[in-house]
Structure 1
Amino acid sequence: MKFCIAFLSSSLVMFVICGCKGDNETDFGALLSFKSMITSDPYGALSSWGNTTSFHFCEWSGVSCGKRHRRVTALWLNSQGLQGSLSPYVGNLSFLGKLSLFNNSFQGSIPHELGHLSRLRSLNLGQNKFNGLIPTNLSRCSNIERLGLYHNQLLGSIPKEMSFLSKLKLVGVEDNKLTGGIPAVLGNLTSMKIFSAARNPLGGSIPDTLGHWKSLTTLYLDGCSLSGTIPHSLYNLSLLTNVSLAENQLTGSLPSALGAMLPHLESLQLHHNQLTGPLPPSISNSTKLRVLEMSDNNFGGKLKIDFSRLEDLHSVIIGSNIYGFGEADDMKFIDTLKNCSRLTMLHLYNSSFQGVLPKSIGNLSRQLRFLQLGGNQFSGNLPSSIDNLVGLTVLLLQYNQFTGTIPSAIGKLQNLRVAVLIDNQFSGPIPDAIGNLSSLILLDLGYNRLEAHIPTSLGNCHQLSELYLDHNNLSGRIPKQLLQLPSLTISLDLSRNNLTGSIPTQVGELKMLASLDLSDNKLSGNIPRALGACTSLLFLSLQGNSLQGMVPPSLSSIRGVETLDLSNNNLSGQIPRFLERFSLQSLNLSFNDFDGEIPMLGVFANASAFSVFGNSKLCGGLPDLGLPKCNEAHDKHKKRFPLFVIFILIASTLFTVSCLVYACCKKIKGKPSQSLTNGQFMKLSYAQLLKATNGFSEANLIGEGGVSSVYKGILDDHDDTCVAVKVVHLQNRGAHKSFLAECEAWRSIRHRNLLKIITACSSIDFKGSDFKALVYEFMPNGSLHDWLHSSATTSRLNLLQRIKIIIDVASALDYLHNHSLPTIVHCDLKPSNILLDDDMVAHVGDFGLARFLGTNSNQNSTSGIRGTIGYAPPEYGVGSEMTSSGDVYSFGILLLEVMTGKRPTDDIFNEDLNLHKFADMALPDNVTDVIDDCLLDILQEDAIATQHTLAYANKIEDCLASTIKIGVSCSVDSPPQRMDVENVVHELQHILEKLQHI
């Protein structure tokens, strides 16, 4: 049969179809109109649509028709990645009974024409980006039973007209922006079985009329800003299985017969409200209960629930209430939990429990993974029976009054990953058996009374990233085995003990450690030079010891440190000048024996940021310090060499180094140039680089840019060092200028988050042509771009890795903009210029477009290359000068790309939509709409694997929203309104801390 399409336009679809009846014309036209408003179809879901030569529209993908009339009865296009608007012509599909477009990217408003679909029984538009109001005339769909509008951006109120849909059984409108309360007239929907309006700012109270829903099984109203009491009528809904009214402001108490009234309950979540009274013992009558979450209320009275009948129970989260009275039977309920063989979570934190923890704690399920008893007043010994809980992964006993020794039996908990026993009164030695906990990633034994030595067996905890042993009475030396744990990346705190001896040189093996606190011990000797290898340090405190000698020059390598405290020691010599170049927020050198002149730059320019009190031989510095000026007549503690001799030595040294650096950036035919780094200069010739890269073979090619190619190389003559060789294509326009710019940049900058340069080579090749190359430290994990977009990368970046990478990049920018002299603007910040080392630490590279501010150089000219499309700020396109604010814009776009997985040049972006707007529209409540699907999958897998609670999910979502907000704030069009990069680093660090404590 022959089909003829007469006319098709974007605003109106008209069809003349030969050989079909008029009704089929209508369906055919409506489907083609639907397709015409789809702007992206990545999986080709609609590729068969419109093919009239071999397919009837009833055979199109996602379309179902009735056998008799051949009219469209169902349109099912879930999870197809479709983008665009929903055509109002769908309202012409008069036989449509099911419309499901779940998990796509439809935008715009929901067409009111859907109200014409009188036969519609099921409508699912969830997980899209619909905005505007819920159409009131959906009330004309009199046969509708299931309505899913969840996880969109809908505004306004829940229409009262919905009460006319007498057949409605399921309503899902959660995760929108609906306000105006819950209409009381919805109580007329007596067929309702499932109602979810969670995470909308609805406000108001829960209508008593909801008690008319006698068939209701599921009610989700968590996070809706509801107040008032829970209507008593709800307790008469005896078929209820899942109830969540959490995270509201509900008041009042629960009925004593709760369990008898709701015998089918499987999940009861009332946490984070203002409920009072006792937890009804009748809850034990809800024998199907699996989840009980009542934490963070004002429940009181003795906990008398008999859990022995709740055999399916797997999660009990009832902390942050007031149960304990100091009576002998306060913890009797623990005995009744032994029958709950599926229990995986028990949270009893901050509940005023007192007395001894019963030995029956060891009778809990072997499936128990999370035990939280912190913030109570437990005393006495920790029962050794705890070793029966072999499934434990998290043990939290903080802020109690436990005494006695930590039982060696704890070493049997082979699955334990987090153990927090801070702020108790444990005494005696740390058991050697703790070294058996090979899965441990966090151990906190701080603020106790532990004594004796630190067990060397801790060196067996090869996954340990945080260790806190502070505020105890530990003695002896710091075991070198502890310092040889490469997993220690977050914190090592041994402060406030009685540790003796010198700091072992093995401390230099903690290359990725962020915080090291050895303060207030009895350590002696010199500060080890090896400490300079800890280049990731952000916090370092050695104060309150007996350290002596000079601050070693090797510490100039820890330039990322923000807090440095060396006070109350016996250190001598001059204050190191390299501290001027650090990004320090706090520096304490008080009560030592430093002499000479106080520097004036960097942290020393802010009197409130540093302290040198108690060093009687110092002079100069800021006038606020009130110290004498440094001159020969006044300074009784000068060095033996006259000042003019020192000046000549320094000047000649600087001149020599400057000449060497300048030689790197000039053509010196036939001779290799020198290194741009501190220390010994590495000499590499063209022939050596040719050999290292196997003749600059394509197999060694790891990247290409506009004016260069990068090759992996092995330096046979230098201990097989692996390097990256950036060969400049001098025939390309701007290449020579780019080479000089990079030489100039690398000459004066050093930071742990900048790519480390080894040398520059300016020579001639074997054909007599000019040859210029830069040689960098090789980054084995490639570029950030590869991790985000390359199919060759099988691993995936988790949330913590992404946040750390973003912080690394922001820290590098903060250094370039605020702590480098002169200020440097990178001008080409993008994922392909962010390289990742063995430990996934990010390093910013490629300074070929860099600009130097505040110099007489002509590099600030507004002509020439202006960064990369999509990352360059809009002001560069109209001829504005390149500024640090432009880098902040590029950083904002990069951050959004890291979090959304979308390039700024993605096909979905056009004149009306860019990456900035795409992210901004999702704030604050729909941020997961824009998060990279790969990241969401990882978060979901983690949540399932660890059985995290809703509160956990909300905290993760808050972190995601805070991060996206920073990216949006950095990438606004107006330069003055962009965030300052120092604030960016501070905010990101705050987000990282929150993530690490979730």
Structure 2
Amino acid sequence: MMPSVSLCPGLVVLLLYLSIILARSTLAGAAEDGENDDQRALLCFKSQVSDPSGALASWQSNTSLQFCSWNGVSCTAGRRRRVAALSLPSKGLAGPVPPCLANLTSLETLQLAGNGFHGVVPSELGALSRLSYLNLSGNSLAGVIPSALSSCANLRVLGLWNNSLEGEIPTTLSQCMDLQEINLSNNKLQGSIPTAFGTLPKLQILVLSGNRLTGGIPPLLGSSSSLVHVDLGGNSLTGMMPVSLNKLVGSIPESLGQISTLERLSLNGNHLSGPVPPSLFNMSSLTYLGLADNSLTGKLPANIAHTLPNIQTLLVTANRFDGTIPASLANASKLDNLLLASNRISGDIPLLGSLPNLQILDIGDNMLETDSLQVLWLGANKISGTIPLEIGNLKNLTELRMDYNLFSDSIPPTLVNLHKLVVLSIAKNKHSGPLPDAMGNLLQLNELSLDGNNFSGSIPTSIVYCRQLDKLNLSHNSLSGSIPSELFKISSFSQYLDLSYNQLSGDIPQEAGNLINLGTLNISNNRLSGNIPSTLGQCVLLESLQIESNSLVGSIPQSFINLVGMKELDVSQNNLSGKIPEFMATLSNLHVLNLSFNNFDGPIPTGGAFSNSSIVSLQGNERLCTNIPELALPLCPISVKHKTKHNYLVIKVVIPIVLVAFITLSCLGIILRKKRRRREQLVPHFEKSNQRTRKITFQDIVKATNQFSSANLIGSGSFGTVYKGCLEIEDNIVAIKIFNLDIFGADKSFDAECGTLKNIRHRNLVKVITLCSTVDLTGSEFKALVFKYMPNGNLEMWLHPKVNEQVQRKTLTLMQRINIALDVAHALDYLHNQSVCPIIHCDLKPSNVLLDLDMTACIGDFGLARFLSTRSNVQHNTSACLSCLKGSIGYIAPEYGLGADISTKGDVYSFGVLLLEMITGNRPTHEKFLDGTTMHEFIYRGFPNNIYEIVDPVLIQDGSIATHVLQNCIIPLVKIGLSCSMTPPNARWEMGRVCREILIIKGALANRDSK
């Protein structure tokens, strides 16, 4: 039997006290070790990532700054603090995601979206048992989604969108029962959608769009009682599921219609077929339903507006729906986007009289009969036939755009009953017949565009009653008769009045001087006669006056001295005569002055625009002369006075001797020119009639480039290199493009560039100063072109600066990007639609978009350019030799790869890619597009729902994108880029339309900035 032991009560208290102290010491030591582990993990993260922007500069181990105060780090409360959140979105970080993040054992939030991380998602992140928010979207991560993430039992948000992840979606993710949001969109995921996602009790958002998922939509998703947003678009979901031997149901599960909480459902762009289950149209909470671009069949329910009372967007385009459009849509008062095009819907469109929020309506080749619709856009839909008389029922219509279709016949007379119309555009169709006499009934009209049709007859005089007109375009029709003087009594004109390319005759009315606010007047290519009215000098805000290709006579009015803001004046191909007024040299804003092919005589003015041969065109005026010997024009005769015997001797002796010498030298010159003719035929001649610079030599080039010093090298291309230099004949620095004639095709590229540049002149095209075609010191052939130097380099350098340039070079603002896009669009519109012979650039890309001191963009490098139609042997040869050269990888139109002929649509495609590149900051050859997915397809999948993941992070980081800017600027710009880069050439926009749309966007941003 053991003896009992009794302890002194004091000893018991002492032992208990020592135990408490020991426990506290142990806990404190553990907490301190935890803090040290967190700091080491953060420093490990920093050491393994690239940080060019210095976002982690505050992360220093040798400072007194506690890591909880480091940039992007948040800690738990209490005395012993642990890292609870690491948030570093859009900081320019790059490299693999460091696995040592798993040592942050208290981490609840990990936000690294919008950076440049690559490699795989570390499976070690599954050790973060407290992690509730994980966002690695907008990086370049590859590999599979690690199944170890299912160990993050507290995970609520999983965001991995906009990466290059592949493989299947781990089914084990359904073990994270707290998941509220799963976004895996825009990756390369394959396989099927995990059925168990339907069992997640708290799941609200499921976005799997833009992947390669196959199979059916899990019916179990319909058992969810929490889903609010489901987006499965842009995959390859397919299947018809048999329910009996002779009956099939559609591939959309009936159970989806049982999700009472669902507000947004997008199934666009799959391979779904069969009928839509009726339950889908019974979801009272649904605000967005997207079924577009599938093969769905059947009819839309007659009571659709009653069963979908909250529907705002309904997209069913590009399916096989038939029947008529349900009449109940007239009661869908919240509907703002309705797209029904490209189905088999026939019959009348119901009255949509109570749709106050409707903004976008696309019904393809159908027509509306509604009395309340305010805006109707049917542009670029290939709609044919006539405009029905019922168009006059749209009593509240303010904007009607039906341009770029195939409408024919005349304008229905009921159209003039739309008294609230502000914008009417039916341009680029096949309309014919006369314009309605009652056109003046449209009293509120601000913009009228009827160009590009075949309207005939005279311009109705009733148009004078449209006193709100700001823009009128009747060009490219067959209108005849005189220009009604009433037209020039509309004082509201401020933008443009374009009557060009018609058959108008008679004089230009004197009333033209009433248009004192007009910016552009184009009445070229008609049959106008008489004098230029001097009253035009009263139009002091006029910037562009084009009256070329008529039969005008007389001289340039002296009153034009008042047109100090004139930028473009073209009076070519008329019968004008007299002297060129001296004041023309004082119009300092001129960048295009075309006086060619008239009967002007006498000396040309000096200075101003006349000192720049790239601005002024004078050819075809045989009686012009100059007092400047350097110009390639006849010298003006010197007036001789018979007052002295000395003058008599000059006349009788000196002049005959000079004439004999001149004739002798001329004969010698003719002989020498014949010897050089064969070589000169290889080089297209620039317009020497107005060029003041002399032909430069090889020695001039050597001296200008400091013997081709590498310090002067500013770029290189397929056929040569570009240096900056200073020529003695120029006051400013120039860019000298030297062709490497050892490269096959370089000589042809030189000829092509010369042949193109001699025919074009525009503020947004690179300005050539002179050329050099000679031999070098070894006797080898040498060719070079001299251009205006662009101090801000090219667009490529701004969009994709090298690592060592990021600190020095500023990024482009949103407004700068819009301005550059507009400049490039104007240049292409000029090349395609306004030059004498349409020109196709064939190599539009950022490196060929040059930026001057004011960031004005100019297109350069015309080495691959081609004429759409040929008028000379030089042009023909230029086209033939370049038949296999069609652009740069990523920017080449897809039809060129199939052997299609080169067309303006190829340039439009390149522009679309360029615009998308400017918005996203990604090259079309980025690694995320190397799996067969084009930039167009990638962006389309995320547009417009995931627009923030599409836009260049630099713009977001700079705070340049507010919500209204996103809606009014960014989304419309992306739409333009997508519309221009469509695969079918005929679906792409024309550059004229692109210019107009970008101008609207620029105005919206400018108005926002001014507030």
Query: TM-score normalized by structure 2?
Result: 0.55
Q: CA deviation at 1:320?
A: 2.7
Checking the alignment, whether the CA contact within 8 Å between 1:28 and 1:57 is kept in structure 2 is: yes
Instruction: Name the structure 1 match of 2:362.
Output: 347
Instruction: Name the structure 1 match of 2:66.
Output: 56
Range 241-250 or range 797-806, more displaced: 797-806
- Give the Cα–Cα distance (whole angstroms) in 2 for the partners of residues 444 and 35 of structure 1: 61
Identify the match of residue 322 of structure 2 among 284, 300, 307.
Answer: 300
Instruction: Name the structure 2 match of 1:97.
Output: 108
- Give the Cα–Cα distance (whole angstroms) in 1 for the partners of residues 452 and 989 of structure 2: 24
Q: CA deviation at 1:217?
A: 1.2
SS at match of 1:956: helix
Q: Deviations over 1:519-565 (max 9, x none)?
A: 9x99999965999xxxx99xxxx9xxxx99xxxxxxxxxxxxxxxxx
Query: TM-score normalized by structure 1?
Result: 0.55
Instruction: Name the structure 2 match of 1:476.
Output: 481
Instruction: Name the structure 1 match of 2:817.
Output: 797
> Equivalences for 1:914-993 in 2 at 5 Å?
924=933, 944-945=967-968, 956-957=977-978
SS at match of 1:306: helix
SS at match of 1:132: coil
Q: CA deviation at 1:264?
A: 0.5
Code of the residue aligned with 2:71 in structure 1: it is S
Code of the residue aligned with 2:67 in structure 1: it is F
- Give the Cα–Cα distance (whole angstroms) in 2 for the partners of residues 759 and 396 of structure 1: 41
Code of the residue aligned with 2:140 in structure 1: it is K
Q: Deviations over 1:345-389 (max 9, x none)?
A: 2222224x6xxx64xx3323x5x4646798487765355564533
Range 205-214 or range 675-684, more displaced: 675-684
Taking structure 1 as reference, are residues 76 and 275 closer, same or farther at Cα in structure 2, changes over 3 Å only? same
Instruction: Name the structure 2 match of 1:40.
Output: 51
Q: Deviations over 1:152-207 (max 9, x none)?
A: 11122212222222222211011112122323343333432110111112232212
Identify the match of residue 421 of structure 2 among 407, 413, 428.
Answer: 413
Identify the match of residue 429 of structure 2 among 419, 422, 428.
Answer: 422
Instruction: Name the structure 2 match of 1:110.
Output: 121
- Give the Cα–Cα distance (whole angstroms) in 1 for the partners of residues 383 and 919 of structure 2: 44
SS at match of 2:256: helix
SS at match of 2:189: coil
Instruction: Name the structure 2 match of 1:177.
Output: 188
Q: Deviations over 1:899-952 (max 9, x none)?
A: 75699xx9x9xxxxx996668659735666897557897899676128979xx9
Range 306-315 or range 418-427, more displaced: 418-427
Range 237-246 or range 648-657, more displaced: 648-657
Code of the residue aligned with 1:275 in structure 2: it is L
Q: CA deviation at 1:51?
A: 4.4
Code of the residue aligned with 1:61 in structure 2: it is N
Q: Deviations over 1:244-293 (max 9, x none)?
A: 11122211223445443x11011111122222222113322322211112
- Give the Cα–Cα distance (whole angstroms) in 2 for the partners of residues 809 and 288 of structure 1: 47
2:453 is equivalent to residue 446 of structure 1:
yes
Code of the residue aligned with 2:230 in structure 1: it is L
> Equivalences for 1:464-503 in 2 at 5 Å?
470=477, 474-476=479-481
Code of the residue aligned with 1:725 in structure 2: it is D
SS at match of 1:137: helix
Q: Deviations over 1:541-600 (max 9, x none)?
A: x9xxxx99xxxxxxxxxxxxxxxxxxxxxxxxxxxxxxxxxxxxxxxxxxxxxxxxxxxx
SS at match of 1:118: coil
Taking structure 1 as reference, are residues 140 and 277 closer, same or farther at Cα in structure 2, changes over 3 Å only? same
- Give the Cα–Cα distance (whole angstroms) in 2 for the partners of residues 942 and 468 of structure 1: 34
- Give the Cα–Cα distance (whole angstroms) in 1 for the partners of residues 346 and 391 of structure 2: 19
- Give the Cα–Cα distance (whole angstroms) in 2 for the partners of residues 709 and 756 of structure 1: 16
> Equivalences for 1:244-643 in 2 at 5 Å?
244-256=266-278, 258-260=280-282, 262-284=283-305, 285-307=307-329, 309-325=331-347, 330-331=348-349, 333-334=350-351, 337-351=352-366, 358=369, 361-364=370-373, 366=374, 368=375, 370=377, 375=383, 380-381=388-389, 383-384=391-392, 386=394, 388-390=396-398, 399=407, 404-405=412-413, 407-409=415-417, 412-414=420-422, 416=423, 418-420=425-427, 422-423=429-430, 428-429=435-436, 433=440, 440=447, 443-444=450-451, 446=453, 470=477, 474-476=479-481
Alignment coverage as a number of residue pairs: 692
Q: Deviations over 1:472-505 (max 9, x none)?
A: 7x432578999xx99789x99857xx7667999x
Identify the match of residue 82 of structure 1 among 83, 86, 93.
Answer: 93
- Give the Cα–Cα distance (whole angstroms) in 2 for the partners of residues 797 and 241 of structure 1: 36
Quick one: percent identity of the two aligned structures?
A: 25
Q: CA deviation at 1:321?
A: 2.8
Q: Deviations over 1:640-696 (max 9, x none)?
A: xxxxx9xx989729849999x99xxxxxxxxxxxx9851145489xxxxxxxxxxxx
2:225 is equivalent to residue 202 of structure 1:
no
Checking the alignment, whether the CA contact within 8 Å between 1:708 and 1:729 is kept in structure 2 is: yes
Checking the alignment, whether the CA contact within 8 Å between 1:809 and 1:843 is kept in structure 2 is: no
Checking the alignment, whether the CA contact within 8 Å between 2:529 and 2:552 is kept in structure 1 is: no
- Give the Cα–Cα distance (whole angstroms) in 1 for the partners of residues 211 and 298 of structure 2: 28
Taking structure 1 as reference, are residues 729 and 900 closer, same or farther at Cα in structure 2, changes over 3 Å only? closer
Q: CA deviation at 1:439?
A: 5.7
Taking structure 1 as reference, are residues 51 and 432 closer, same or farther at Cα in structure 2, changes over 3 Å only? farther
Instruction: Name the structure 1 match of 2:39.
Output: 28
Q: CA deviation at 1:805?
A: 8.0
Identify the match of residue 143 of structure 1 among 151, 154, 161.
Answer: 154
Instruction: Name the structure 2 match of 1:875.
Output: none
Q: Deviations over 1:796-839 (max 9, x none)?
A: 2338437548969999xxx9xx999xxxx9xx996796659999
Q: Which has the larger radius of gyration?
A: 2
- Give the Cα–Cα distance (whole angstroms) in 2 for the partners of residues 182 and 125 of structure 1: 21
Identify the match of residue 159 of structure 1 among 160, 170, 177.
Answer: 170
2:241 is equivalent to residue 230 of structure 1:
no
Gaps of 5+ in 2: 1-27, 240-250, 513-518, 531-546, 554-566, 576-662, 695-712, 715-721, 737-749, 773-784, 800-808, 864-887, 889-908, 940-948, 998-1011
Q: Deviations over 1:741-780 (max 9, x none)?
A: x99x98996252764456899xxxxxxxxxxxx9988999
Code of the residue aligned with 1:58 in structure 2: it is C
Q: CA deviation at 1:148?
A: 0.7
- Give the Cα–Cα distance (whole angstroms) in 1 for the partners of residues 463 and 855 of structure 2: 27
Code of the residue aligned with 1:253 in structure 2: it is P
Taking structure 1 as reference, are residues 997 and 322 closer, same or farther at Cα in structure 2, changes over 3 Å only? farther
- Give the Cα–Cα distance (whole angstroms) in 2 for the partners of residues 391 and 902 of structure 1: 29
Q: CA RMSD in A?
A: 6.4
- Give the Cα–Cα distance (whole angstroms) in 2 for the partners of residues 85 and 810 of structure 1: 46
Q: Deviations over 1:924-982 (max 9, x none)?
A: 35666897557897899676128979xx957734856989xxxxxxxxxxxxxxxxxxx
Checking the alignment, whether the CA contact within 8 Å between 1:312 and 1:340 is kept in structure 2 is: yes
Instruction: Name the structure 2 match of 1:652.
Output: 670
Q: Deviations over 1:127-167 (max 9, x none)?
A: 22212211121111122121111111112221222222222
- Give the Cα–Cα distance (whole angstroms) in 2 for the partners of residues 50 and 246 of structure 1: 49
> Equivalences for 1:742-821 in 2 at 5 Å?
750-752=758-760, 755-756=766-767, 795-798=815-818, 800-801=821-822, 804=825
Identify the match of residue 726 of structure 1 among 724, 727, 732.
Answer: 732
SS at match of 1:252: strand
Checking the alignment, whether the CA contact within 8 Å between 1:382 and 1:403 is kept in structure 2 is: no
Code of the residue aligned with 1:726 in structure 2: it is N
Checking the alignment, whether the CA contact within 8 Å between 2:850 and 2:857 is kept in structure 1 is: no
Gaps of 5+ in 1: 1-16, 507-511, 549-644, 663-674, 685-702, 712-722, 731-741, 762-773, 847-870, 872-891, 909-913, 964-985
Code of the residue aligned with 1:475 in structure 2: it is S
Q: CA deviation at 1:340?
A: 2.5
